[in-house]
Structure 1
């Protein structure tokens, strides 16, 4: 249904569902948090962190999400409802980096500070600030690790990417190439770098089943692959399943990004050699602090703030800084 034709009863129902029935008092700052979905453990943990931080500091957090990853209309509706409920800061993990920009522009024109968490908009300047992992550096770390773990053997690399044009997907992929010592676009490019060492590139959409299918297809093209880069840990789990099914799971270095609790367990089990861990609780807490500062002083957050990344592995390699499984487990997100 086009947004301009949604009747007021529908918006009212949506507002009630989000807990937005009435604006908070003037003494209680209202902060909105919009995630891509409310089921992904990463965003569940982000919501938990933001809710706890807001409650501890005397603010009210209202949360919304798209129905699925990519549901821009759902995020737009949540943003409109939050503004109506009195939110002066909205924290958002954009599902569609470009399509959400007009709604963000409208919010900022009304005096609302908008901070992107985890993923930038396109252009990044569409929000007041971005609090996120340096995804390019996350890629660099696992690229360096994979290069060292390969031990000088000629590389035959499979990349299981997100999907074409996604900035986070490009940053992780290109950072991996940079860390591996291959030619790579810079961190601002949304184009995926290519090199003869990459024997197969496939989109996984960050999904385990799709990652397994993509890996099976790549094995048909190049059965002697020895390095697999994956956009995230579900895709890595799918890749491992495909390799195990083909009897090749012992001779391939799989690296990934996220640092979720299941991902760290997969590192401990030897399914993933190393992963770059990011920190959604830190993103959420920093977002709440910025919102409270804006409510108090009118000072807006600006620019990019790096929320940190660390390489987690059970098998350290010389020359690449890493943290062990215990650290990864202590700081992971999702069910422990």
Structure 2
């Protein structure tokens, strides 16, 4: 919950609007053939991200492309038009099934809305792995490689609580997309970490931002009109944090408000170093993508399927460490960031 750089040679990146154009990319099917994979024996992996522009998903896509090239596999990368575009992701899954992929890696925009398309893919014998976002129920996919988003939210909240040093929180919340699984888990985790119940008067206001910088700036401007005494801000991701900071700075309030975030992109870590916000919780999209592609290749070689939830980890990044919170500084963050 906020990409640049070309993909590796041979990869295909399309939004849902252009899916029809790749229908001719299907490999020819021989008698007795399942229709999956390539005639040359290469594993064919489909990747469906929430968008193709958010820096997190660009980093994930680039890592998947690099790992596929390393493992001698082919990657076909598709995306929704926007965060929350469930229909676009359903169309992408259907297209990948028609193309005969061996495995599909997906970051679901809607953890329940995508279930029918996933079920149809698995019934065709296709391995389906969720990246970044769990499905509901979790066993709708073969496995999930993701950040523990509840724990990442708790880490952000616990840091903000400690950094307030005994001051009562006066909190504004820049949320993600309504109904999003990651959005809900991070929101709930943050409140648990800071020790505030949903609906508490300490929450001065909250608005959805879809993780977009411009929407977050407008949301913060709106919230500040009725909550000028805010001293802490939760943000769903770093683009939202940048938007929130811009609105605070325009009001001359940035220095008085403690802003936290989650992502760990290189721009976000630099923002922490520059003092725009106090903390970010780094996640590792490269690990998700690499492990997903490796599992897909192993599946086509041996038939072995991964299972369950694999936590790819998170790390608190700040140059203002507080007692009781394990953290790394921005120098470490800039060496390990993505994007």
Structures share fold, TM-score greater than 0.5: yes
Instruction: Give 1:275 shift.
Output: 0.5
Seen in structure 2, the aligned counterparts of structure 1 residues 242 and 77 have a Cα distance that, compared at 3 Å, is same
Q: In the alignment, does 2:29 pair up with 1:15? A: no
The residue number in structure 1 matching 2:195 is 181
Structure 2 residue runs without a partner (length 5+): 1-17, 29-36
* CA-to-aligned-CA distance 1:165-196 (integer Å, 9 cap, x gap): 2111111111111111234xxxxxxxxx3322
The residue number in structure 1 matching 2:90 is 76
The residue number in structure 2 matching 1:149 is 163
The residue number in structure 2 matching 1:211 is 216
The residue number in structure 1 matching 2:238 is 233
* Distance in 1 of aligned mates of 2:184 and 2:83: 17
The residue number in structure 2 matching 1:60 is 74
* Distance in 2 of aligned mates of 1:298 and 1:73: 30
The residue number in structure 1 matching 2:330 is 325
TM-score, normalized by length of structure 1? 0.89
The residue number in structure 1 matching 2:297 is 292
Judge conservation of contact 1:20–1:81 (CA < 8 Å) in 2.
no
Task: Specify which of 237, 247, 253 is matched with residue 242 of structure 1.
Answer: 247
The residue number in structure 2 matching 1:196 is 201
Structure 1 residue runs without a partner (length 5+): 1-9, 184-192
Instruction: Give 1:74 shift.
Output: 2.5
* Distance in 1 of aligned mates of 2:19 and 2:266: 37
* CA-to-aligned-CA distance 1:261-318 (integer Å, 9 cap, x gap): 1111111111110001111110001101111221122121111110110011121111
The residue number in structure 2 matching 1:135 is 149
Seen in structure 2, the aligned counterparts of structure 1 residues 115 and 222 have a Cα distance that, compared at 3 Å, is same
The residue number in structure 2 matching 1:100 is 114
Judge conservation of contact 1:98–1:121 (CA < 8 Å) in 2.
yes
Instruction: Give 1:50 shift.
Output: 0.9
SS of the residue 2:338 aligns to: coil
* Distance in 2 of aligned mates of 1:119 and 1:12: 26
* Distance in 1 of aligned mates of 2:302 and 2:27: 27
Instruction: Give 1:76 shift.
Output: 2.2
Moved more, 79-88 or 53-62: 79-88
* Distance in 2 of aligned mates of 1:232 and 1:159: 11
The residue number in structure 1 matching 2:3 is none
Instruction: Give 1:216 shift.
Output: 1.6
Moved more, 66-75 or 237-246: 66-75
The residue number in structure 1 matching 2:6 is none
Q: In the alignment, does 2:143 pair up with 1:114? A: no
The residue number in structure 1 matching 2:13 is none
- How many residue pairs match? The answer is 314
Moved more, 251-260 or 26-35: 26-35
The residue number in structure 2 matching 1:6 is none
Judge conservation of contact 1:15–1:21 (CA < 8 Å) in 2.
no
* Distance in 1 of aligned mates of 2:209 and 2:91: 28
TM-score, normalized by length of structure 2? 0.88
* CA-to-aligned-CA distance 1:10-40 (integer Å, 9 cap, x gap): 9762335xx6566512621111111112222
SS of the residue 2:254 aligns to: coil
* Distance in 2 of aligned mates of 1:194 and 1:259: 29
Seen in structure 2, the aligned counterparts of structure 1 residues 72 and 166 have a Cα distance that, compared at 3 Å, is closer
* Distance in 2 of aligned mates of 1:146 and 1:11: 43
Judge conservation of contact 2:230–2:257 (CA < 8 Å) in 1.
yes
The residue number in structure 2 matching 1:3 is none
Following TM superposition, where does structure 1 have runs of at least 4 consecutive aligned residues deviating by more than 4 angstroms? 19-23
